[in-house]
Amino acid sequence: MRPFYLTTPIYYVNDVPHLGHAYTTVVGDTLARYHRSRGEAVRFQTGTDEHGQKIEAAAAARGLTPLQLADEVVSRFRSTWGELGIAHDDFLRTTEPRHAAVVQRLWQRLAERGDIYLGEYDGAYCVACEEYYTETQLVAGNCPVHARPVSRLKQTSYFFRMSRYQDALLEHFERHPEFVQPEMRRNEIVSFIRSGLRDLSVSRSTLSWGIRVPGDDTHVIYVWIDALTNYISALGGFDEAPAYRQFWPQAIHLIGKDILRFHAVYWPCMLLSAGLPLPRTVFAHGWWTVNGQKMSKSLMNAVDPGMLAGDVGRDALRYFLLRETPLGHDGDFAHEALIQRINADLANDLGNLLNRSLAMAAKYCDGQTPALLATGPTDPTDQALIALAERVRDAVASHFERLEPSRALEALWELVRATNKYIDTTAPYRLARAPEQRSRLDQVVAHLLEALRWISVLLTPALPDSAATMRRYLGLPALEPQLEVDQWPARWGDGPTPAALQRGEPLFPRIDDERRQALIARWTARATGGAEVVAAAPTVEASAATPAPAPAEPSDTITIDDFARCELCIAEVRAAARVEGADRLLRLTLEVGGVERQVVSGIAKAYAPEQLLGKRVLLLANLKPTTIRGVRSEGMILAAGDGAGLALCTVDRDIPTGAKVR
């Protein structure tokens, strides 16, 4: 069986994770989970791009070393991927020695081929893209991507003889129509190559934050050469590395459309020069706008992926991202559309189906799954359901294989809706009134539960948590993605014997109007910076130990000196756990300027412990220490509250822990 290797871009560490990053990573995770569920050997790779001028400048602006900045942002990426349920096999940082060694070896290989030479670069450079432009590529003298002024670079640099590979690359495109997708992007790139490839400046002598050019300490390697090599260094290098041999030629690079040229021109030319095989496919997805607008910094806050996952559930967010827009098209993230999808597709279609089926099984079949009759179905309604399920199973698989997750979900929802319809057609409540229909009623419930079992498997790649909950409710064992066996349903009724059915919380609670308004208000406030600020002090359970302060009279005012008595500072959550026997309390370990302290906080209803890891919060540090439920608490973190619950107060750019809040 062909192994599956899927990569995301490695993300720059001058920005915290945003919706665009989350999109690629959720799509990649879903595809990787699908291939794991088919029993294939899978490797799903992500990481961070930490060198280059852009990162050096961002760190300097914050008074940090580039590595300090990277360490901080990397912990944000890691925690966000946890919040979104991303199961990557590896997370590579370009500052790791395992990476630098491979970049230098690849450089040497290009040099041995006679493709590296020293020359003079004199031209335009956009730091935001970390890309060189010719005069004709600029738009009114500005960067064509960022519409911002470019810098003028005049320097001695090493060049890569990219022009030498123009014909070989065009031939590769010719022979491998699947190399660049979607087709429109392929055409763009082919015409770019036909217009003539120039040699590429691949080193910088004016920059020190990067990987050294072998044999010349005065130059560092161009950040894109460094970054692209991650796809191979993550496999342990080239030529002999076992993971490289197993996975490399199958690589699929999933990227955004803005970085296609690097992946579909520069990278393959380097590989051709090094005599290495090219990846199988480079797939460029579109860009998201937010409520119809380009994603600016403030709009990014309103679509912070970790926050959205916390507010609506991570599977709901994953569903929206995967379903809303076909991969390859641009999409718009509208908050109202997110809520609509949750209510219509998740709560109404899927949630209700599960709920109705379990309720019927509880009422008519003592909460057990009736056996499907071995003689097979003769009822045309049953036959139609089975035929549809088989068609949907194959369609879901082929859409995932063809990198069409939105269509895979669309197909799956055909089965969800058809199964709801099956209930309406077979009318089990009517059968239940006629004792002579007892065995027919059992068969109807059995078919329903079998359809749900199929749905739980087909849903696993996209919505792993919900699929796992469904299986628990259905009395089925969890799927084991690591087993390397195909777990896709083969025949109707061929599943494991289920244990007793279970009932529990609804899979996707409907967002009612009150909650909808509260959520929209909260998200709008995130974009505009409003919201009332309250302290996330321990509540209810803690009240015996720490009496709540009397509410301030509206007319009460304090002086700046009063405020100055509050020592407020930035802290990072390093560990979080529930306090035993107190369902509102979390025990947090915070890091404040290099020192750890423990705080008990009443936010357990709003945040799961793992959602908090890596978050930068506001700490009232000189609150008198106290002991709550036997746990010592040295301070209090702040949160804002409204009808929808609590939201932690945090800072809108990364600022070192210990920094004072004034």
Nearer to ligand MSP, 256 or 326 (CB): 256
Which one of 35, 54, 146, 605 is the catalytic residue?
146
Task: Dihedral sign for Cα 641, 644, 648, 649, please.
Answer: negative
Nearer to ligand MSP, 102 or 259 (CB): 259
In this structure, what token pair is assigned to residue 58? Answer: 């961002």
Please list every residue from 228 through 257 that binds ligand MSP, using CB under 6 A: 228, 230, 255-256
In the complex, what is the shortest distance from the CB of residue 24 to ligand MSP, in angstroms, rounded to a whole number? 6
Phi-psi region at 236: left, alpha or beta (left = phi > 0; alpha = psi -120 to 50): left
Question: Helix crossing, 267-274 with 166-175: angle to 10°?
Answer: 100
State yes or no: is 649 an active-site residue: no
Task: Please give the single-letter amino acid code of residue 423.
Answer: I
Q: Which stretch binds ligand MSP (CB under 6 A): 21-29, 161-169, 454-462, 520-528?
A: 21-29
In the complex, what is the shortest distance from the CB of residue 230 to ligand MSP, in angstroms, rounded to a whole number? 6
Nearer to ligand MSP, 165 or 267 (CB): 267
Report the first-to-last Cα separation within the chain, whole angstroms. Answer: 60
Binding map of ligand MSP across residues 291-320, x = CB under 6 A, - = no contact = ----x-------------------------
Nearer to ligand MSP, 295 or 571 (CB): 295
Q: Give dist(CA 213, CA 530) in Å, integer.
A: 49
CB environment 193-206: b (16+ within 10 A), e (fewer): beeebebbbbbbee
Which one of 51, 88, 129, 447 is the catalytic residue?
129
Q: Which residues pair with 288 in a beta bridge?
A: 331
Q: Judged by CB under 6 A, does residue 268 bind ligand MSP?
A: no
Question: Which residue, judged by CB position, is nearest to ligand MSP in the bound state?
Answer: 256
Cα 295 from chain centroid (whole Å) = 17
In the complex, what is the shortest distance from the CB of residue 132 to ligand MSP, in angstroms, rounded to a whole number? 15
Q: Which of 21, 109, 393, 399 binds ligand MSP (CB under 6 A)?
A: 21
Nearer to ligand MSP, 33 or 99 (CB): 99
Nearer to ligand MSP, 228 or 444 (CB): 228
Query: Which residue in this structure is represented by tokens 């015996």?
Result: 544
Instruction: Report yes or no: 444 and 427 within 8 Å, Cβ to Cβ.
Output: no
Q: Judged by CB under 6 A, does residue 23 bind ligand MSP?
A: yes
Picking from 349, 639, 339, the residue whose alpha carbon sits closest to that of residue 514 is 339
Q: Give dist(CA 129, CA 224) in Å, integer.
A: 10
DSSP string, 405-428: HHHHHHHHHHHHHHHHHHHHHH-H
State yes or no: is 269 an active-site residue: no
Nearer to ligand MSP, 260 or 358 (CB): 260
Phi, psi of 244 (to 5 degrees): -60, -45
Q: Which stretch binds ligand MSP (CB under 6 A): 8-16, 481-489, 540-548, 618-626?
A: 8-16
Nearer to ligand MSP, 58 or 648 (CB): 58
In the complex, what is the shortest distance from the CB of residue 11 to ligand MSP, in angstroms, rounded to a whole number? 4
Q: Give dist(CA 463, CA 415) in Å, integer.
A: 16
Phi, psi of 384 (to 5 degrees): -65, -40
Q: Give dist(CA 237, CA 471) in Å, integer.
A: 40
In the complex, what is the shortest distance from the CB of residue 455 to ligand MSP, in angstroms, rounded to a whole number? 29
Would you give the DSSP letter of residue 507?
Answer: S
Q: Judged by CB under 6 A, does residue 258 bind ligand MSP?
A: yes
Identify the three-state secondary structure at position 654.
coil
State yes or no: is 566 an active-site residue: no
Q: Which of 55, 110, 150, 227 binds ligand MSP (CB under 6 A)?
A: 227
Binding map of ligand MSP across residues 183-222, x = CB under 6 A, - = no contact = ----------------------------------------
Nearer to ligand MSP, 147 or 560 (CB): 147
Number of residues near ligand MSP (by CB under 6 A): 19
State yes or no: is 615 an active-site residue: no
Nearer to ligand MSP, 10 or 353 (CB): 10
CB environment 118-129: b (16+ within 10 A), e (fewer): eeebebbbbbeb
Q: Which of 4, 6, 24, 511 binds ligand MSP (CB under 6 A)?
A: 24
Identify the three-state secondary structure at position 279.
coil
Identify the three-state secondary structure at position 596.
strand
Query: Which residue in this structure is represented by tokens 């369609």?
Result: 395
Q: Give dist(CA 370, CA 282) in Å, integer.
A: 48
Binding map of ligand MSP across residues 40-59, x = CB under 6 A, - = no contact = ---------x----------
Query: Which residue in this structure is represented by tokens 């916390």?
Result: 310
Which one of 35, 88, 99, 126 is the catalytic residue?
126
Q: How far are the Cα atoms of 173, 349, 445 from residue 438, in angstroms, in the given order?
A: 63, 27, 11
Nearer to ligand MSP, 290 or 470 (CB): 290
Which one of 18, 35, 335, 615 is the catalytic residue?
18
Q: Judged by CB under 6 A, does residue 259 bind ligand MSP?
A: yes
Question: Is 161 buried (19+), middle (13-18) or exposed (0-12) by CB count in 10 A?
Answer: middle
In the complex, what is the shortest distance from the CB of residue 256 to ligand MSP, in angstroms, rounded to a whole number? 2
In the complex, what is the shortest distance from the CB of residue 473 to ligand MSP, in angstroms, rounded to a whole number? 35
Which one of 88, 99, 143, 335 is the catalytic residue?
143
In the complex, what is the shortest distance from the CB of residue 379 to ligand MSP, in angstroms, rounded to a whole number? 48
Q: Which residues pair with 616 in a beta bridge?
A: 572
Q: Which stretch binds ligand MSP (CB under 6 A): 143-151, 163-171, 223-231, 307-315?
A: 223-231
Q: Which of 20, 28, 66, 305 binds ligand MSP (CB under 6 A)?
A: 20
Which one of 297, 329, 363, 605 is the catalytic residue?
297
CA angle 457, 461, 466 (to 5 degrees): 70
What length is written for the chain? 662
Q: Give dist(CA 110, CA 221) in Å, integer.
A: 13
Instruction: Report yes or no: 574 and 610 within 8 Å, Cβ to Cβ.
Output: no
Q: Which stretch binds ligand MSP (CB under 6 A): 131-139, 227-235, 486-494, 623-631?
A: 227-235
Q: How far are the Cα atoms of 75, 514, 556 from residue 639, in angstroms, in the given order?
A: 21, 21, 22
**Residue 182, preceding peptide bond in cis (omega within 30° of 0):** yes
State yes or no: is 99 an active-site residue: no
State yes or no: is 21 an active-site residue: yes
Binding map of ligand MSP across residues 88-117, x = CB under 6 A, - = no contact = ------------------------------
Which one of 154, 294, 624, 660 is the catalytic residue?
294
In this structure, the dihedral spanned by the alpha carbons of residues 476, 477, 483 and 486, taken in order and rounded to 10 degrees, is 0
Q: Give dist(CA 285, CA 335) in Å, integer.
A: 21
Residues that are catalytic: 18, 21, 126, 129, 143, 146, 294, 297
Residues that bind ligand MSP (CB under 6 A): 9-12, 20-21, 23-24, 49, 227-228, 230, 255-256, 258-259, 287-288, 295
